[in-house]
Amino acid sequence: MKKIQVKIVSDVMCPWCVVGYKNLASAINSLKKSAELELADIELPEIKVSWHPFELNPHMPEQGQDVEEHLAEKYGITPEQSVQNRQHIAQAGQNAGFNFHFSKNMRMINSFDCHRLLAWSETLNKQTELQMALFEAHFTDNRHLNDQAVLADIVSSIGLDGEKAAEILSSDQFADQVRQEMAEFQRLGIHSVPTFIINDQYAISGGQPVEAFQNTLRQIVASDK
């Protein structure tokens, strides 16, 4: 049976990208356990996950912007609506197994440098680890990801070379690759995140529940028999 390829078009500034990925991971684990216990009529093949760039804030200044100010400007919502939205996201995160901690010092940033590091980490088979470390740094620990020293420290925390990361950040390495990938996904009509592209045939958008991913994976496996 062929491998299943899951391409996740995502931005580290996107909370629903965390929720969607955690639910995808839960779907994969539950299907694997069912197969191991012979409770499912499917044999789940190897599933490869890769992350692909999308900039929610491509014109954001280098210093970033206060999150409440940003949400008010971009979406026209009131502070009360912003609080309600974040409470909804926090609950979805708790259900998925991720801790959101929204504080007053959170800042929205341009994520281009994060995407460059993610492109590099893919060459070292550490992409998902780095993606999750960036999500946790931003949404749980409220670290500022527009600080190159912070990014290098996050890289080091997952066992990669922080000095190499700093070298990449001080250059234009992987910049062309990131731009080309973003242009290609835009050409394919992807204008929101998260978008999960499975085997280049199925697309799932948003922070969908576990069942949505289970159903799609089952459908793919069944059609491959």
pLDDT at 33: 80
Contact 6, 47 (CB under 8 A): yes
Report the pLDDT averaged over residues 61-90. Answer: 90
Examine the pLDDT at 112 and tell me if it is beyond 80.
yes
pLDDT at 36: 61
Structure tokens, 224:
């491959």
Examine the pLDDT at 39 and tell me if it is beyond 60.
no
Query: What is the three-class DSSP state of 136?
Result: helix
pLDDT tens-digit map of 130-151: 999 999 999 999 999 999 999 9
- The conformation of residue 10, written as its DSSP 8-state character, comes to E
* pTM to 2 decimal places: 0.94
Q: What is the mean pLDDT of the chain?
A: 92
CA 172 to centroid of chain Cα atoms: 22
- The conformation of residue 140, written as its DSSP 8-state character, comes to I
Domains detected in the chain: 4-223 (3.40.30.10)
pLDDT tens-digit map of 40-59: 566 778 899 999 999 999 99
Report the pLDDT averaged over residues 89-108. Answer: 94
Examine the pLDDT at 106 and tell me if it is beyond 80.
yes
Q: For residue 131, what are the contacts with CB-CB under 8 A and spacing of at least 6?
A: 10, 12, 21, 51, 118
Contact 193, 7 (CB under 8 A): no
